[in-house]
Structures are given as C-alpha cells and as structure tokens.
Copies of this chain bind each other. A is one copy, B any other.
C-alpha cells in the first residue's frame, strides 16, 4: 500500500474531467467522453490524428476532435505540446503530476521527468514578474539506444 502522495488513476481522472466539463458549461456527449477516456487512459502527447484514430470504434469527424480539443485546452484539461514537427500534440493535464518531456530527436521516444525536480525555474520566472506559470518543457536530446 505504498501509495505515492498523488497518483494519476485513469478512471478517477475521467470522472474529474467530466465534472470539469460540466462545470465549464460544456455538455457531456459520447464523443467527448471517448476523447477524454482516451486521453486519461493513455500517456504521452497525441496528435489530433492519433486521438481520432484512437477512438475509431465510435467513428467521428476530425473536425469534431479539433473542436473538442480546443475546448478542453481552453478550460485547462489538456495542454498543448510542440515536438518540433509542425503538428500540435495534446496531453491530459493531470494537475497532480506535472512533468516535463525528454524527447529523443532520433526515435521521438518520450520520457517523463517529474516537475518537482526544478522548483527554481518557477522562482526565476516569478522574479521577472511573470505569474500563472506552468512550466512543462520539451527537452530534446538523443537517447541511449539511438546514440549507440
């Protein structure tokens, strides 16, 4: 029972997310549920295409995914990430687990780095008068496998 101070439990996240949806005055539709289910279950940032493919069962339109994600981003449920290839990617924003991405330039593999490791960054930003900082970084490098 050594539960860490705050774990991300998928089903719990889905509940929270749906609650946030309602709170923001958005309706809970099947498609939105599917998108959130996918995002809360799987890790790592996904492109719109990938999210779309991920909920293929209940077929729906790409445009709809764009619009849903746009809403989710606006209310802070997902965060946008740029991996440098011109395609926007989105990730469920688990407030309990803020983290950075360590991305391999070669194979695009992504590793997670806990955000608590660098509290200094937020302090520096604050000292420059910035507020509402939510630093989640994309750190590029070459991973062990690809370097070999």
Residues of B within 8 A of A139 (CB): 121, 125, 130, 133, 135, 137
State whether A102 and B120 are in contact (beta carbons under 8 Å apart), knowing that A82-B84, A135-B137 are contacts in the complex.
Answer: no
User: Bound state CA distance, A133 and B144, in angstroms?
Assistant: 12
User: Bound state CA distance, A57 and B135, in angstroms?
Assistant: 39
- Beta-carbon nearest neighbor of A140 in chain B: B134
User: Bound state CA distance, A117 and B88, in angstroms?
Assistant: 29
Copies in the complex: 2
Tell me whether B140 and A128 are in contact (CB under 8 A). Answer: no
How would residues 27 to 59 of chain A score, 1 for a CB under 8 Å from any chain B CB and 0 otherwise? 000000000000000000000000000000000
User: Bound state CA distance, A129 and B130, in angstroms?
Assistant: 33
User: In this assembly, does A21 line the interface, its C-beta being within 8 Å of a C-beta of chain B?
Assistant: no
User: In this assembly, does A147 line the interface, its C-beta being within 8 Å of a C-beta of chain B?
Assistant: yes
Tell me whether A86 and B88 are in contact (CB under 8 A). Answer: yes
- Beta-carbon nearest neighbor of A129 in chain B: B144
